[in-house]
Amino acid sequence: MSRARPAFDLSLYLVTDAALTGGRPLADIVAAAVRGGVTLVQLRDKTAPTRALIEQARALQAVLQPAGVPLLINDRVDVAWAAGADGVHVGSEDMPPSLARQMLGPEAVIGQSVGCEAELAALDPAIVDYAGVGAVAATPTKADAEALSPAAFADLCRRLSVPVVAIGGLNLDTLARPLAAGADGIAVVSAICAAADPEAAARALRSAVEAEKAARPQERQP
């Protein structure tokens, strides 16, 4: 029996970076972003100790669960399980999605990074719920990520059979192209985490995303 894909909305996907908040509590940034229209949040912190990361995830869950916004954890399947998060996002060097699925169960949301042909070939749509495709543009939050050409990004979107969220260097000035190429939404980091007013920044981004998607001839069919 095939697994039913869990419900989620990739329209405006916030990836957190505590180093960009200017000392403001991350939970406050996330709460403001959700009020502005963020539809999914990924907690990403490559350096935090396990216990601190679990505590941070639980603090974000307290904000997100009442709003009905899913929380995913970057890489750390153990933290997602311990904190009761909604799922994980993994890259090519992280735990294989098949093992993450075994650990978290059929209802978890599992995303996988895709930035090249090999990563596209490695994605199993029976296991993975969405693909994070990029980098769309150069981004200071992931300096080693090579930007895809517009043609390469569009080709990956066309060939993927799962929903796509574009990631990498995205803001109000750069979101139009990946959405026109077929992405179901955009993932942002500094455009919200570093904003003086995260709620207003999220609201502007969500409005722009919805306008771009409405202008497409037809919705992308995964």
Q: For the chain, give the percent of residues with pLDDT over 70.
A: 94
Active site includes 113?
Answer: yes
Q: Which pLDDT tens digit goes with each residue over 71-120?
A: 999 999 999 999 999 999 999 999 999 999 999 999 999 999 999 999 99
Residue 219 — pLDDT band, cuts 50, 70, 90?
A: low
Burial of residue 149 (number of CB atoms within 10 Å: 0-12, 13-18, 19+)? exposed
Residue 136 — pLDDT band, cuts 50, 70, 90?
A: very high
Q: Which of 5, 35, 142, 220 is catalytic?
A: 142
Where in the chain does DSSP place strands (E)? 12-15, 40-43, 71-74, 87-90, 109-114, 130-134, 164-167, 185-188
Residue 169 carries which side chain, given as an amino acid letter? G
Active site includes 190?
Answer: no
What is the sign, positive or negative, of the torsion defined by CA atoms of 170, 172, 173, 178? positive
Active site includes 220?
Answer: no
Q: Output the pTM of the full model.
A: 0.94
* For the chain, domain boundaries: 12-215
State the average pLDDT over residues 166-175.
Answer: 96
Spatial distance between the Cα atoms of 123 and 25, rounded to a whole number of angstroms: 35
pLDDT at 216: 84
Domain 12-215 is of which CATH architecture? Alpha-Beta Barrel (3.20)
Residue 222 — pLDDT band, cuts 50, 70, 90?
A: very low
Residue 143 — pLDDT band, cuts 50, 70, 90?
A: low
pLDDT at 141: 63
State the average pLDDT over residues 56-67.
Answer: 97
Q: Which of 44, 76, 203, 206 is catalytic?
A: 44
Residue 204 pLDDT greater than 50, yes or no:
yes
Burial of residue 47 (number of CB atoms within 10 Å: 0-12, 13-18, 19+)? exposed
Q: Which of 76, 101, 113, 190 is catalytic?
A: 113
